[in-house]
């Protein structure tokens, strides 16, 4: 399988730093960009075509829910919500999120989410063939 192309979307620089550090330890993942707002992320997703988006819920411009809902299902990257807001999990899965990381999360929990992303991408690739 090719390297997983990841995009980080979070308005908090420390949260982006944390995710960047976790992704750097994963040889199967390539970071293709970072965004601090939902509107910036929408443009980046369309331009970079990431396989997975680590998406915060509360963002300026367009929040994580609105962003996920705007992505066409057939071209939507895997969505992993990474947020401190635990009250959104059910709605996130209704939007076809692959996982929901509740901040603060550790490396083990992050790697579990990444395995789910890999399984999701493999299943989707299998369905397309």
Peptide bond preceding 117: is omega within 30 degrees of 0, i.e. cis?
Answer: no
Output the six-digit token pair for 12: 């908090």
Burial 53-74 (b: 16+ CB within 10 A, else e): bbbbbebeebbbbebbeebeee
Contact between 54 and 44 under an 8 Å Cβ cutoff? The reply is: no
Question: Could you tell me the pLDDT band of residue 129, with boundaries at 50, 70 and 90?
Answer: low
Give the domain extent around 34: 4-128
Check residue 69 and give its pLDDT: 87
Helix (H, G, I), strand (E, B) or coil at 32: strand
Number of domains in the chain: 1
- For residue 85, the domain's CATH number is 3.40.50.2300
Check residue 1 and give its pLDDT: 52
pLDDT digits (tens, 9 = 90+) for 41-50: 999 999 999 9
pLDDT digits (tens, 9 = 90+) for 76-115: 899 999 998 888 778 877 878 999 999 999 999 999 999 9
Check residue 91 and give its pLDDT: 80
């Amino acid at each position: 399988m090719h390297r997983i192309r990841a995009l980080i979307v979070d308005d908090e620089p420390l949260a982006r730093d944390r995710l960047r550090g976790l992704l750097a330890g994963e040889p199967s993942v390539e970071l293709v960009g970072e965004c601090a707002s939902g509107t910036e992320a929408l443009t980046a997703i369309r331009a970079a075509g990431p396989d997975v988006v680590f998406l915060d819920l509360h963002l300026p411009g367009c929040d994580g829910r609105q962003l996920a809902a705007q992505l066409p299902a057939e071209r939507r990257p895997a969505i992993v919500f990474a947020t401190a807001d635990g009250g959104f999990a059910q709605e996130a899965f209704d939007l076809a999120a692959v996982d929901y990381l509740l901040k603060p999360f550790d490396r083990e929990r992050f790697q579990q989410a990444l395995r789910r992303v890999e399984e999701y991408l493999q299943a989707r690739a299998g369905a397309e063939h």
